[in-house]
Amino acid sequence: MSGPLDILQPPGWPAPKGYANGMAGRGRVVLVGGQIGWDETGRFAEGFVAQTEQALRNILAVLAEAGGGPEHIGRLTWFVVDMDEYRSCLPDLGRAYRAVMGRNFPAMALIGVSALAEPKARLEIEATAIIPD
């Protein structure tokens, strides 16, 4: 392995931008439940990008409890309530993502949903991490 996790890229496939096609690793699997854009007091950040940044910080806070960091995340699944809102802020979203996650780009899926459990939430992100033994 080249790092905590290996990036899986089939030969001849175009390089993905901002995510990996697959990740592999060995160790303790950590499953982080869906995190939304509120802080530890339950107060929501304003706007999609700010909520994304907070949701990612929340993921890292849970992951830190297991001794992990962003480099251990093998998969993120994003659930967004407005795909147009997501698309319209991609440059700012990329900057916010890198500010929290660095240059760690795991396998990702993006799913549009009609609603989330918390009405003020613009997105929810769940994570799967592998922390080496």
Q: 117: which strand partners? A: none
pLDDT digits (tens, 9 = 90+) for 106-120: 999 999 999 999 999
**Looking at residue 4, what is its pLDDT?**
83
At residue 2, does pLDDT exceed 80? no
* Phi, psi (rounded to 5 degrees) for 16: -70, 155
At residue 8, does pLDDT exceed 60? yes
At residue 101, does pLDDT exceed 90? yes
Residue 38 DSSP code: B
**Looking at residue 1, what is its pLDDT?**
43
For the chain, give the percent of residues with pLDDT over 90. 95
Question: 30-131 in CATH: which number?
Answer: 3.30.1330.40
For the chain, give the percent of residues with pLDDT over 70. 98
At residue 20, does pLDDT exceed 90? yes
- For residue 28 the two structure tokens come to 């303790």
- Would you say 64 and 133 are in contact if contact means Cβ atoms under 8 Å apart? no
Mean of all residue pLDDT scores within the chain: 95
**Looking at residue 3, what is its pLDDT?**
65
Q: What is the dihedral of CA 117, 110, 55, 60, to 10 degrees?
A: 130
pLDDT digits (tens, 9 = 90+) for 30-86: 999 999 999 999 999 999 999 999 999 999 999 999 999 999 999 999 999 999 999
**Looking at residue 129, what is its pLDDT?**
98
**Looking at residue 94, what is its pLDDT?**
96
